Structure 1
Amino acid sequence: MGLPERLAGKRVLVTGATGFVGEALLERLLSDLPDTEVVVLVRPRAGRSGQARFAALVTKPAFAAWRERVGADEVERTLRERVTVLEGDLERMPTLPADLDIVIHCAGEVSFDPPIDTGFATNLGGVQELLRAVQDSGARPHLVHISTAYVAGLRSGHVAEGRLAHTVDWRVEQAAAQRARPAAEDASRTPEALRGFRERAEAEHVRAGAQTVSREAERHRRRWVERRLVEIGGERARVLGWTDCYTFTKALAERYLENSRDGLPLTVVRPSIIESALARPFPGWIEGFKMAEPLIIAYARGELPDFPASPDGIIDIIPVDLVVNAIIAAAATTPPANTPAYYTVCSGFRNPLLFRDLYEHVQEYFQRHPLVARNRGAVAAAEWRFAGAATVESRLRRGERFTELAGRALGYAPRSDRVRQAARDLEQLDERLSFLRRYQDLYRSYTRAELVYVDDATRALHQGLEPADAQRFGFDPACYDWHTYLQDIHIPSVTATIRGPDPSPPAVRRVAPASASGPDTLAVFDLDGTLVSSTVIESYLWLRLADQNAVARSRELASLARALPGYIRAERRDRGHLIRAVYTRYAGADPDELARLVDEVAGDILLRRVKPAAIRRVREHREAGHRTVLLTGAVEVLTRPLTPLFDEIVATGLALGPDGRYTGRLTSAPLVGDARAAWLGHYAGRVGANLRASWGYADSQSDLPMLRAVGNPVAVSPDLPLYRVARRSGWPIEEWSSTPGEPRAVAAGRDERRAHAAAARVRAWRAGGGPAGGSGAGTDRVITLDPGGRR
């Protein structure tokens, strides 16, 4: 009988049906085994039931040919009559049917370097839970366990099919893995470790405030725990003779099944590196990147100048449909209950592909079909020299050291578009080096192990197929040549998604405030550096120097220069410290005189510094019906010219002494860092605003809490730390430039002061207050701004 007849009437449970191999297996069961019933275990995820996930699964491209061939009505009937969906996962198995004939276990943790507890919980614990559920159901099915050829571990030479030769006790290792997370958590909570996390967070985010620092410190701690668990898993695997935690846990799962299956027939299928389909469900079908794809794409992009592999070493690749065909043939061939069957599905023994062969095929393909990079044109295919692991490692370490030093240097550079461009370039280099580091570390053991997997039992299984089945369900790795598979099928498939139709630069992302109109939406703007090209110190000088003579101006500038280093240190620690330090200089100032100076001189300077793009954006929000808010550390009096633009202005208040003059102290703590987010939360509650629909615009890392408090954060001409966070978070980044040609004077010159004074006298006369000095002098001004942002 053929495979369809041998499996007719059988009820088959498939785990991992939403994974790469499981999806391809399910397609063959539905399409080519019409009399076989299927039970699938599907985990609910992200609010979707297992049934809903399965319904979405069968609409994917892998099932397109089957759906078209049988028609929509037949698809629904087949799924209704032949498929049973069980909701659950390998941690919480549902009750299984008592009439299962075959269990094909495809599910598992396929990452090479999972945290050790995760790897054990999925690859060993999942098998234990599955076997428990099978035994509780009363069924006596044939167990088909999908493992990996790399359970053979770190060795050289020919590896035969059969039971693994090792004495590792899975009970001891599983118990140790379960203890690893509590131990890592405890280690991360020692005073020394916590101090390190906090100091690192402070170095990166101190200006954003204590809450942000605390959040980042905890994020560093959790990442440290995860990295620690990954390191433990990898090192434990290598100590015991395996390449990584993945192969280690897969090997122990095999040993558990061999010893604990209670007489159930067992077949272990061990594929090598599974890649895109040769023919079914269609040539080149693949989901996600597997083992070779990241390297192929990195080479195509010019990001993989060499690789630490032996040119004459074998890279054992097998198409996914050959693996699925072998699984079906193995499932239809039940071994004796006391003698497990082992099948290695591979290509290296009878159709070997060397690393040099793979490189030459990839190079030849991209020489004929190069990728086209934006602003670079066609990417040249690199020439590998196979320099060896030591040379590649040395180059990689030099690159990592360079990016570390360059990143520190950029942190001290003044903000500018050129600095941000340098940061982007450095970020790309760092990403490239991180990619190389990750894949060199992951693949090092695989490339060093000079293995040849022998597939005698698998070949015999294939030779035992009926001739018709050998055509439909064949899995002979000698049935194709590598040139055809790689250059005509595999590489075109995996690169199709990265070949964009237009190599031109992407359009600038444009923010559209009107898309979420309504009075419950806030538009919150920072002032210095965002709305206006100025700083706290500059605005102080506008007021301080406005009416002083040359000698007094020189004295004030000299005093400020002496204090400047302290101000810079204060700014790097806490913006609130800077504001307090600068505003002590207002001690003794007359509030009425400051108001007059704003009206006559400083206000004009401020308005000249307002960025046209900022004014346009404020107007857009106002037209959308949003409530506009200016949130600034500037003194209240300086914001008077901007009153027409905002529904709410929150600025820094200066305390008055008994003599009616400013004391140099603040009326309340400045709203900086975390305080801005707290104020926004309170304000939104008071006015009934929806922060998730609101907008925030700021330029500095100290504004990070404010930006995170709203649903639509926008980084405007950001400093480097904020720029990096915005890039990582996917926030819009906009460049709002000052008016071209606008002078950077910190105070009005003599002629300009005379002109302002004359204008003030004219305004006062027209207001009916008499000549300068009368009741009309110093009254509030009316300011209008056209769409271009000019007065």
Structure 2
Amino acid sequence: MNQISSCVLAYVSGEKAGLILEKPFNMGETLNGIMRLDIEAEMKLANERLRELRDNGASRKAETIAMKELGIQRARFFGWPNTYAFTKAMGEMLLGQLRENVPLVIMRPTIISTTYREPFPGWIEGTRTLDVFIVNYGKGKLRCVPIDRRMILDVIPGDMVVNAMMVSMVAHSNQPSLFIYQIGSSVRNPFCISMLIDSAYHYFSKNPCITDDGKPIRVSTLTIFNTMASFRRYMTLRYKIPLKGLGLANVVFFQHFNRLYRDSSRKYNFIMRLMGLYECFFFFKGRFDDFNSEKFRAVMKDDGMVDGMFCFDPKCIDWEEYLMKIHIPGVVKYLLESKLVK
């Protein structure tokens, strides 16, 4: 029998608080319930907007920006925080509707981090959610962040997600039903965001990144803002207003400060864009229930399938040791040193 196995995102649930259950999306369901979601209508709207931009001769950059803005607008209209989660939710709906008697396994991993064991500890390819902050903090570019230090961060190593997918495909290959598993750690083995902040400081204090001219980059403790509003006020007073003054001086003195103004603007816009993109994660108060996953683990453990290389139990992780000895060194080795992140 054919089988569909889909890996989506636990954050398709949006910004809900409390315990978030492993339950499917019904076709047309929205997070805010204000109206039914018509996927075909959304696709038509996107295609019409793209055609309009091209008919008007928009540049590729302008086209990309406009389509991103449309995606965010439509996502938030229905209650999702961003386009990524919105489209993942629509994907779940379509799979559920079209599968007929085909077994369907939907995996919802939380924040995926470096591998725990396989193919070796600390491996990663491409910058993930956590690592944007780790990389920019280690390079001295991130000095403040809006976040609740008490927030539970739901992280799962990438190899555990792969192991769960492989075992589930074998286990459910002849079961014509829908199975949903949230693969995360916030219920079984939670850790607080403050542990990541402290670990990053201790690691980079002992193992500083090096500039192009061979000098160590000294990190300081992050300045923490308890709300996005207080963070935006700080950024306005500390950077935005002086930046406007620099821009005016640059005009008055015939572009004398052009390079400084351009570099400062780029850094400011990068930080504000980064914080805006991840705002929905900074004060997230949900916990991802993994009752189905835990029950599945127990059954597979009795069958001898989840020991050794097929482990996907977050309870085996010592988070402090993982951060200091596996995750942060892995990020440095495979992202910073390979220059995948500029």
The bucket for the TM-score relative to the shorter chain is: 0.7 to 0.9
Other-structure match for 1:533: none
| Aligned mates of 2:267, 2:98 — CA distance in 1 | 46
Task: Report how far residue 361 of structure 1 moved.
Answer: 1.3
For the structure 1 residues 495 and 411, does the alpha-carbon distance in structure 2 shift closer, same or farther, using more than 3 Å as the test? farther
Other-structure match for 1:179: 45
Alignment equivalent of 2:253, drawn from 391, 408, 413: 413
For the structure 1 residues 170 and 226, does the alpha-carbon distance in structure 2 shift closer, same or farther, using more than 3 Å as the test? farther
Task: Report how far residue 337 of structure 1 moved.
Answer: 5.3
Residue 321 of structure 2 aligns to which amino acid in structure 1? T
Alignment equivalent of 1:167, drawn from 18, 29, 33: 29
Residue 171 of structure 2 aligns to which amino acid in structure 1? T
The question of whether the paired residues in 2 share the 8 Å contact of 1:353 and 1:482 is answered with yes
| Aligned mates of 2:305, 2:54 — CA distance in 1 | 61
| Aligned mates of 1:335, 1:454 — CA distance in 2 | 24
Scaled by the length of structure 2, the TM-score of the pair is 0.86
| Aligned mates of 1:296, 1:350 — CA distance in 2 | 25
Q: Secondary structure at the match of 1:461?
A: helix
| Aligned mates of 1:357, 1:242 — CA distance in 2 | 28
| Aligned mates of 1:174, 1:366 — CA distance in 2 | 49
Other-structure match for 2:243: 403
Task: Show the 5 A alignment for 1:623-638.
Answer: none
Other-structure match for 1:360: 198
Alignment equivalent of 1:380, drawn from 189, 194, 219: 219
Task: Report how far residue 228 of structure 1 moved.
Answer: 2.2
Residue 13 of structure 2 aligns to which amino acid in structure 1? A
Task: Report how far residue 355 of structure 1 moved.
Answer: 1.6
Task: Report how far residue 189 of structure 1 moved.
Answer: 7.3
Other-structure match for 1:155: 16
Residue 3 of structure 2 aligns to which amino acid in structure 1? H
The question of whether the paired residues in 2 share the 8 Å contact of 1:363 and 1:382 is answered with yes
Other-structure match for 1:276: 114
Task: Show the 5 A alignment for 1:553-702.
Answer: none
Task: Report how far residue 322 of structure 1 moved.
Answer: 0.4
Number of aligned residues? 328
Task: Report how far residue 175 of structure 1 moved.
Answer: 2.5
Structure 1 stretches of at least 4 aligned residues deviating more than 6 Å after TM superposition: 187-190
| Aligned mates of 2:166, 2:109 — CA distance in 1 | 13
Alignment equivalent of 2:161, drawn from 302, 323, 329: 323
Structure 2 residue 328 is matched with structure 1 residue 488: no
For the structure 1 residues 358 and 174, does the alpha-carbon distance in structure 2 shift closer, same or farther, using more than 3 Å as the test? farther
Task: Report how far residue 236 of structure 1 moved.
Answer: 1.7
Residue 299 of structure 1 aligns to which amino acid in structure 2? Y
Alignment equivalent of 2:268, drawn from 433, 436, 439: 433
| Aligned mates of 2:224, 2:7 — CA distance in 1 | 37
Other-structure match for 1:3: none
Structure 2 residue 157 is matched with structure 1 residue 289: no
Task: Provide Cα deviations, 1:413-461, integer angstroms capped at 9, x if missing partner.
Answer: 357xxx4xx4443333223222211221111112233110011111122
| Aligned mates of 1:189, 1:257 — CA distance in 2 | 34
Residue 309 of structure 2 aligns to which amino acid in structure 1? R
Alignment equivalent of 2:82, drawn from 244, 252, 272: 244
Task: Provide Cα deviations, 1:331-360, integer angstroms capped at 9, x if missing partner.
Answer: 011177553111111011111122212111
Task: Provide Cα deviations, 1:268-300, integer angstroms capped at 9, x if missing partner.
Answer: 111111111111111111111111111111112
Task: Report how far residue 312 of structure 1 moved.
Answer: 1.3
Alignment equivalent of 1:477, drawn from 295, 305, 314: 314
Task: Report how far residue 327 of structure 1 moved.
Answer: 0.4
The question of whether the paired residues in 2 share the 8 Å contact of 1:157 and 1:452 is answered with yes
Other-structure match for 1:302: 140
The question of whether the paired residues in 2 share the 8 Å contact of 1:185 and 1:225 is answered with no
Q: Secondary structure at the match of 1:284?
A: coil
Residue 4 of structure 2 aligns to which amino acid in structure 1? L
Task: Report how far residue 171 of structure 1 moved.
Answer: 7.2
| Aligned mates of 1:438, 1:305 — CA distance in 2 | 15
| Aligned mates of 2:7, 2:260 — CA distance in 1 | 43
For the structure 1 residues 173 and 391, does the alpha-carbon distance in structure 2 shift closer, same or farther, using more than 3 Å as the test? same
The question of whether the paired residues in 2 share the 8 Å contact of 1:349 and 1:454 is answered with yes
For the structure 1 residues 267 and 377, does the alpha-carbon distance in structure 2 shift closer, same or farther, using more than 3 Å as the test? closer
Other-structure match for 1:142: 3
For the structure 1 residues 384 and 224, does the alpha-carbon distance in structure 2 shift closer, same or farther, using more than 3 Å as the test? same
Q: Secondary structure at the match of 1:174?
A: helix
Residue 489 of structure 1 aligns to which amino acid in structure 2? I
Q: Secondary structure at the match of 1:427?
A: helix
Task: Show the 5 A alignment for 1:3-42.
Answer: none
Residue 392 of structure 1 aligns to which amino acid in structure 2? F
Task: Show the 5 A alignment for 1:64-79.
Answer: none
Other-structure match for 1:464: 299
The question of whether the paired residues in 1 share the 8 Å contact of 2:205 and 2:218 is answered with no
For the structure 1 residues 323 and 367, does the alpha-carbon distance in structure 2 shift closer, same or farther, using more than 3 Å as the test? same
Task: Report how far residue 482 of structure 1 moved.
Answer: 1.1
Task: Report how far residue 391 of structure 1 moved.
Answer: 1.4
| C-alpha RMSD of matched pairs (Å) | 2.7
Residue 297 of structure 2 aligns to which amino acid in structure 1? H
Residue 413 of structure 1 aligns to which amino acid in structure 2? F
Unaligned runs of 5+ in 2: none
Residue 231 of structure 2 aligns to which amino acid in structure 1? V
Other-structure match for 1:442: 277
Task: Report how far residue 265 of structure 1 moved.
Answer: 1.2
Task: Provide Cα deviations, 1:352-385, integer angstroms capped at 9, x if missing partner.
Answer: 1222121111112112222233576432223333
Task: Report how far residue 324 of structure 1 moved.
Answer: 0.5
Q: Secondary structure at the match of 1:164?
A: coil
Unaligned runs of 5+ in 1: 1-139, 191-216, 501-791
Scaled by the length of structure 1, the TM-score of the pair is 0.39
Residue 353 of structure 1 aligns to which amino acid in structure 2? F
Task: Show the 5 A alignment for 1:711-722.
Answer: none
| Aligned mates of 2:232, 2:146 — CA distance in 1 | 8
The question of whether the paired residues in 1 share the 8 Å contact of 2:148 and 2:226 is answered with no
Q: Secondary structure at the match of 2:61?
A: helix
| Aligned mates of 1:147, 1:218 — CA distance in 2 | 32
Task: Report how far residue 187 of structure 1 moved.
Answer: 6.9
| Percent identical residues | 26
For the structure 1 residues 383 and 218, does the alpha-carbon distance in structure 2 shift closer, same or farther, using more than 3 Å as the test? closer
Task: Report how far residue 490 of structure 1 moved.
Answer: 1.1
Alignment equivalent of 1:265, drawn from 85, 103, 110: 103
Task: Show the 5 A alignment for 1:726-737.
Answer: none
The question of whether the paired residues in 1 share the 8 Å contact of 2:4 and 2:102 is answered with yes
| Aligned mates of 1:454, 1:328 — CA distance in 2 | 21
Task: Show the 5 A alignment for 1:526-545.
Answer: none
Task: Report how far residue 174 of structure 1 moved.
Answer: 3.4
Other-structure match for 2:181: 343
Task: Provide Cα deviations, 1:444-494, integer angstroms capped at 9, x if missing partner.
Answer: 112233110011111122222234641221100011111121111111121
The question of whether the paired residues in 1 share the 8 Å contact of 2:29 and 2:37 is answered with no
Task: Provide Cα deviations, 1:702-738, integer angstroms capped at 9, x if missing partner.
Answer: xxxxxxxxxxxxxxxxxxxxxxxxxxxxxxxxxxxxx
| Aligned mates of 1:259, 1:426 — CA distance in 2 | 53
Residue 382 of structure 1 aligns to which amino acid in structure 2? T
